[in-house]
């Protein structure tokens, strides 16, 4: 079992919010342990599966015709939501880097959100805790979404191909998490 | 008491590794609670204050004639080294962003290290846990350091002025941490 | 975002046990972060919303025609039920103090319960953990409740007006929690 | 092994700050597990044993010719300073109650400090974390202390005899902690 | 309240997976605090109560006509699944020891599973976390189970009487957990 | 980096209690991450390096002319002494199994101690927490120790060769810990 297993799913898969549940990767693909799974598919999250209570309050519509999705799960003991958010933020910076490396210019990150220079929203993301793990979902539009209350853009607008982009990101996150593990196994405490 | 207090010290201060100890900002400046403090000064860390045991093993010389230092402290309950490392990595990405925003090109981050396109090391960093908090130090050369076993570069080589750069970073980290707090107080769990 | 936000709701609100759920204050009022919310309303908790399994076992009837309710939520990372109980106990002592300050005599606290000198029960309380926070509910009768298996009394019997009493308590708890934060950000560890 | 062992030491013992260290009760008296130990003796804490870094900064003199001391230790896994502070605060409210029960009037608690109506300070207290436990010290003057920078008063001024007072408090804290354990072993989570 | 309460239920009870839920022993028998409860009864776990997601994935049939069941609950603060698994493993070694003490030879433990020399599976086990505790179930066949996809054996095949065997195990686990508590209240940290 | 790295040191090494300190394996051998290291050497622990405060109190002499030592380190986040003790106990059961597999009969484990049928003590062990990890030491006499206040025996008395025995144990613990990781990454919570 490796520190973090990463996988890109060949078939498309619709994201409906159930994938944020505990052990989804294991139940669905037999992929066990800390993991980051990427896949392409539409996105439509019914209110009962929304994690962000601001979305629930506002009656937000979270949907996109085609997104590149990432689902991370870390089996923290004990589970700690703050770690989930910190990892989610770190992942967001990797997405930004990877988009730039592929020629996208003027992008801006604000928390876990990415925007184009024209203030079009590229992505959605949420971090959460389960009784046995912490997880985050990061979805970036492939095709721009409409009717979601904000201007959006997608990878297609940026001229970025989802699959190689996803594969680079999976590898970048794997290295990052390996680096975190490396850092916390060579530092002594300060008294 | 705010989520995170940030401060730039006007006077120079030498970093000798004692500043990574618990409550340094409080003991020294009366700055209480979660904080990020920046200051300029030389760097020389004797082996007994080194946190990274790889440095100790290799008999590394950690020194720089003039660095811009950042010391973060978070009063996690309980203290958790992994959070410290995750925050340190996130801070490293902010440093990289801020350098780019000031015209530096081709920089590369690897874990908590920043490099110029000529593979010169710009920075040093360590994260650690104390019995009451988690902390990280991030130091970026103002003037390049010599005799430390690797090629280095500094802010001066990049044409970046330490003070305004530091102030932007302090504000960027403050916003980032506020965003983390925001994210973890609006998400429900996933069962 | 302040260490603890407190609020007294002007409109009455029935307590039915759903308010102990995670992020209730945020979902309902947009009140984000650690908080203590007070409101007046009747109390009737169906068995499926009871947290105390002793109540469930005994088939207890938890009801009151008019209570002053307090709901606290703290976003501990990780959530820790013991902290919730300790805070609940501390809050109970503040309630007792505030009642005395308003002339009530001979009151007695036992755990999280308050009694009059005639052994009438004034209050009900429960502490619990959610996947993202810890919470407690403290309800004190305004009007005495009947048919609940024990003798009860209420604020009216003590000549205490709910609103100013609640406002003093909100402020007292805010100070207390600020004091706890102060204490844990100035103490070093003991080795 | 009981949830909390309490003990009143017959012989006097000077408090010099070393008693806040981990396992003091076990090393010194063979008293194992969670405990609250009371003893009478003078108090003089050299700077190197001070836990509160505000005292260190101010160059405070922490001393008293004769105090009633309480040392609590809880073997939390993991140790969590916030729990230590919450328990310390709860203990402070018990001290206040017990003083009132013995006729002292007009006393005021502010955080972990107790004051007479004439704003004389009665007590000192600190909570801390060790690598294996959390602890607090609570000291209340028997005889008033002088030369410590604030007006003080002691149990003698309040007409309170240390030993029976201590024994009541030990028992009150034992009941309180037992109540906390009771509360956290009968509540289900809220989802 | 003792460190661990143990109990052998006189009446038979069918295990259907609901007993792994939080506070089952308290809700059902009023048995409060950390506990290990043993009982005899058939076993049939519908998919919706299965904890092991491998069983769910494989559509496993978990059933036995007559098993000796053990349910442990520990009120860890915070709950930590890894502790639950470690305790479950330790319990498995005690089961093995106790079977040997009663003459069973050539038994083999692999993780939480016990096998006869003929590779017949004797037991099933799962560890889990609840919002307020950690738990494990360990079931050992009394009569061998059929139609469960593997060869099985039971206590009857080993000539072991369930009740005295269970009583020895309850006592062995009680001693073991007491020993763990003893060990963690006499060791100092290493810096 | 594997879940647990195990290593048998070819050269002898005296155990003096410093090896229980954080990151010993990394500082000394560059062995990073969770690990179990075995070596042969004499044992003499000065009081200042004793972890068990019972040994300190009794003025115990902990020494042996030749022992087989095991040092485990797990980088728990946060460090939790209870996990260290649970793993230590589990390791003790593996030692017992391995000795039996090599023909030793009638051995008895009590907590972390192993005894021969003649009540000779075979082993010493301690578990502790560091600011960044949890650790245990398990030492088993190769040659019997004298002058330590109890009757002892060693591997030689049991006819067990240290090296192959150690190698089997290293592998058994590696499998055990891998099994623990497996178990906690396939179980859902119970609500």
Model confidence at D1: pLDDT above 60: no
CA distances from A97 to A91, A107, B85 (A): 10, 10, 20
| B-F contacts at Cβ under 8 angstroms | 28
Residues F72-121: tens digit of each pLDDT: 999 999 999 999 999 999 999 999 999 999 999 999 999 999 999 999 99
A104: pLDDT strictly greater than 90 = yes
Contact at CB, A51 and B191, closer than 8 angstroms: no
- What does the pLDDT average to over C6-14? 97
CA quadruple B164, B170, B174, B177: dihedral sign = positive
> DSSP of chain C, one letter per residue?
--S-EEEE-SS---B-SGGGSTTHHHHHH---SSEEEEEEEEEE--GGG--BHHHHHHT---EEEEEEEEEEEE--SS--HHHHHHHHHHHHHHHHHHHHHTT--S-EEETTEEE-TT--B-EEEEEEE-SS-EEEEEEEESSPP-SSSS-B--HHHHT--HHHHHHHHHHHHHHHHHHHHHHTTTBPP--
Cα C90 to its chain centre, rounded Å, is: 10
The answer to whether B132 touches D129, Cβ cutoff 8 Å, is yes
Selected residue of A25, A29, A131 to mutate for chain E interface (largest E Cβ count, 10 A): A131
Cα–Cα distance between D71 and D80 in angstroms, integer? 17
- Provide the H-helix boundaries in chain B: 24-29, 53-58, 81-101, 155-158, 162-183
Set of chain A residues whose Cβ sits within 8 Å of the Cβ of B129: 187, 189-190
Tokens of C26: 């945020």
Average pLDDT over residues C51-68: 94
- pLDDT of residue F2 exceeding 80, the answer is no
Are A129 and A75 in contact by the 8 Å Cβ rule? The answer is: no
> Does residue C3 register a pLDDT over 90?
no
- B76 CB neighbours in chain D (<8 A) are none
Nearest CB to B188 within list C1, C23, C190:
C23
**Residues of chain E contacting F111 with CB distance shorter than 8 Å:** 176, 179, 182-183
Element (H, E) at F42: strand F35-45
- Average pLDDT of chain D, as a whole number: 96
pLDDT per position as a tens digit, B97-107: 999 999 999 99
Q: How far is CA D9 from CA B89, D6, D138, D167, in A?
A: 51, 10, 15, 10
Measured between beta carbons, the chain D residues lying within 8 angstroms of E35 are none
CB–CB of D141/D67 below 8 Å? yes
> Residue E110: pLDDT above 70?
yes
Q: Which residues of E touch C81 (CB under 8 A)?
A: 75, 77-78, 131-132
CB contact under 8 A, A188 and F23: yes
User: Per this entry, what is the length of chain B?
Assistant: 191
Which pair of tokens denotes residue E140? 């050992």
Strands E35-45 and E62-74: antiparallel
Strands of the sheet with F62-74, listed across from one edge: F5-8, F35-45, F62-74, F134-141, F123-129
What does the pLDDT average to over C12-41? 97
**Residue B171 forms contact with C (CB below 8 Å):** no
Average pLDDT over residues C65-94: 98
Query: Across the interface, do A191 and B86 touch by the CB < 8 Å criterion?
Result: no
For residue B2, the model assigns a pLDDT of 64
Interhelix angle A162-183/B81-101, rounded to 10 degrees, is 130
User: pLDDT by residue (tens digit) across F128-164?
Assistant: 999 999 999 999 999 999 998 999 999 999 999 999 9
What is the per-residue pLDDT for B160? Answer: 98
Residues 6+ apart with CB under 8 A from A166: A8, A38, A40, A68, A70
Q: Which residues contact B42 (CB under 8 A, 6 or more apart)?
A: B14, B15, B63, B64, B65, B66, B67
| Helix, strand, or coil (residue A46) | coil
pLDDT(E1) > 60 = no
CA angle D114, C87, C160 (to 5 degrees): 75
Check residue E3 and give its pLDDT. 83
CA–CA dist E143, E122 (Å, integer): 10
Of C26, C30, C77, nearest to A80 by CB-CB distance is C77
Best residue of D23, D30, D76, D78 to probe chain F, by most F CBs closer than 10 Å: D78
Among A56, A128, A130, select the one facing C27 at the smallest CB separation: A56
**Which chain A residue is nearest to residue E191, measuring alpha carbons?**
A189
For the residues F167-177, what does the mean pLDDT come to? 98
The DSSP output letter for F15 is: B
> Is D129 close to C190, i.e. CB distance below 8 A?
yes
Q: List phi, psi (to 5°) of F104.
A: -70, 135
What distance, in Å, lies between the first and last C-alpha atoms of chain E? Answer: 34
CB C87 within 8 A of CB D89: no
How far, in Å, CA of C188 to CA of E5, rounded?
37
Contact across the interface for A32 and F186, Cβ inside 8 Å: yes
Decide: B23 and B35 in contact? Cβ < 8 Å.
no
pTM more than 0.80: yes
Burial code (b: 16+ CB inside 10 Å, e: under 16) for A46-74 equals eeebbbbbbbbbeebebbbebbbbbbbbb
A189 reaches E (C-beta below 8 A): yes
Smallest Cα–Cα separation from E22: which of C52, F190, A22?
A: F190
For residue D14, give Cα distances in angstroms to D42, D67, D69, D144, F123. 5, 9, 9, 16, 39
Q: Say which DSSP state A36 is in.
A: E
pLDDT digits (tens, 9 = 90+) for B26-74: 999 999 999 999 999 999 999 999 999 999 999 999 999 999 999 999 9
Q: How far apart are CA C94 and CA C87, in angstroms?
A: 11
In this complex, is the C-beta atom of B27 within 8 Å of any C-beta atom belonging to chain D? yes
Two tokens, residue D130: 């060790």
The pLDDT score that the predictor gives to residue A2 is 64
CB of F41 less than 8 A from some CB of D:
no
Which of the four pLDDT bands, split at 50, 70 and 90, describes residue D3? confident
Assign residue F103 a region (left: φ > 0; alpha: ψ between -120 and 50; beta: otherwise): left
Q: What is the ipTM of this complex?
A: 0.97
The per-residue pLDDT for range F48-69, each reduced to its tens digit, is 999 999 999 999 999 999 999 9
Do residues F131 and A188 lie in contact, with contact meaning Cβ atoms separated by under 8 Å? Answer: yes
Rg from Cα positions in chain D = 16
Tokens of B90: 């996130």
CA dist F93 and A44 (Å) reads 51
Q: Are B39 and B9 spatial neighbours (Cβ–Cβ below 8 Å)?
A: yes
Q: At what angle do helices C162-183 and D81-101 cross, to 10 degrees?
A: 130
- Report the distance separating Cα C135 and Cα C146, nearest Å: 27
* CA C90 – CA C88 distance, rounded (Å): 5
CA dihedral D121, D23, B77, E76 (to 10 degrees): -120
Does the pLDDT value for residue C167 go beyond 90?
A: yes
A132, F1: Cβ pair inside 8 Å? no
Q: D87: which 2 tokens?
A: 């328990």
Q: Is the pLDDT of residue B22 over 70?
A: yes
| Contact in structure between E78 and C79 (CB atoms under 8 Å) | yes
pLDDT digits (tens, 9 = 90+) for C114-156: 999 999 999 999 999 999 999 999 999 999 999 989 999 999 9
C53, C56, C80 member nearest E78 (Cβ): C80
**Residue C1 pLDDT exceeds 90:** no
| Model confidence at D25: pLDDT above 80 | yes
Instruction: Map tokens 């896949």 to a residue.
Output: A39
User: For chain A, what is the mean pLDDT?
Assistant: 96
pLDDT at C2: 64
């Amino acid at each position: 079992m490796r520190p973090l297993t990463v996988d890109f799913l060949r078939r498309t898969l619709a994201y409906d919010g159930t994938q944020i549940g505990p052990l989804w990767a294991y139940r669905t693909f037999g992929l066990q342990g800390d993991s980051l799974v990427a896949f392409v598919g539409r996105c439509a999250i019914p209110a009962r599966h929304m994690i962000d209570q601001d979305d629930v309050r506002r009656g937000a519509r979270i949907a996109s015709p085609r997104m590149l999705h990432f689902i991370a799960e870390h089996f923290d003991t004990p589970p700690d939501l703050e770690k989930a958010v910190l990892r989610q933020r770190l992942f967001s910076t990797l997405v930004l880097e990877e988009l730039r490396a592929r020629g996208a210019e003027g992008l801006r990150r604000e928390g876990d959100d990415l925007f184009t220079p024209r203030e079009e929203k590229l992505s959605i993301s949420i971090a959460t805790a389960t009784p046995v793990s912490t997880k985050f979902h990061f979805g970036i539009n492939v095709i721009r979404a409409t009717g979601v209350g904000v201007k959006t853009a997608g990878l297609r607008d940026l001229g970025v191909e989802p699959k190689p982009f996803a594969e680079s990101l999976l590898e970048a996150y794997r290295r990052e998490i390996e680096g975190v593990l490396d850092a916390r196994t060579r530092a002594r405490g300060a008294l």
